[in-house]
Structure 1
Amino acid sequence: MEFEHLIRPFNEPMLALSNAPYRGGLTKANGFFFMMVHKDYAGDYKADCHAFEMEHGLKNFVGFMTAADVGKVLSVAKNGSVRAYITAGITNPAIAGEVPPPWKLGTINLALVIEDGLTVGAMANAIMTATEAKTYTLLKLGYNATGTTSDGIGVFAFEGEIEWAGTATELGINIGKAVREALEESLRKWEATKVK
Structure 2
Amino acid sequence: MLSLSNAPHRGGLTRADGFFFMMVPKNYSGDYKADCLAFEREQGLKNFVGFMTAADIGAVLSTAKSGSVSAYITAGITNPAIAGEVPPPWRPGTINIALVIDEGLTVGAMANAIMTATEAKTYTLLRLGYKATGTTSDGIGIFAFEGEKEWAGTATELGINIGRAVRKALEESLRKWEKTRA
2:158 alignment partner AA: L
User: Is the counterpart of residue 130 in structure 1 residue 139 in structure 2?
Assistant: no
Equivalent of residue 75 in structure 2, options 69, 77, 88: 88
Q: How many corresponding residue pairs?
A: 182
Equivalent of residue 12 in structure 2, options 25, 29, 35: 25
What percentage of aligned pairs have identical amino acids? 84
Equivalent of residue 24 in structure 2, options 11, 14, 37: 37
TM-score (norm 1): 0.92
Alpha-carbon offset, residue 58 of structure 1:
1.0
Alpha-carbon offset, residue 57 of structure 1:
1.3
Secondary structure class of the residue paired with 2:29: coil
Q: What are the residue-to-residue correspondences of 1:38-187 with 2, within 5 Å?
A: 38-187=25-174
Deviations 1:35-86 (A, max 9, x none): 0011111100000000001111111100000000000000000000000000
User: Is the counterpart of residue 194 in structure 1 residue 181 in structure 2?
Assistant: yes
| Unaligned runs of at least 5 residues, structure 2 | none
- CA separation in 2, counterparts of 1:143 and 1:25? 29
2:16 alignment partner AA: A
- Runs of 4+ residues over 6 Å off in structure 1: none
| Unaligned runs of at least 5 residues, structure 1 | 1-13
Deviations 1:5-63 (A, max 9, x none): xxxxxxxxx00000000100000000000000111111000000000011111111000
Partner of 1:10: none
Alpha-carbon offset, residue 180 of structure 1:
0.1
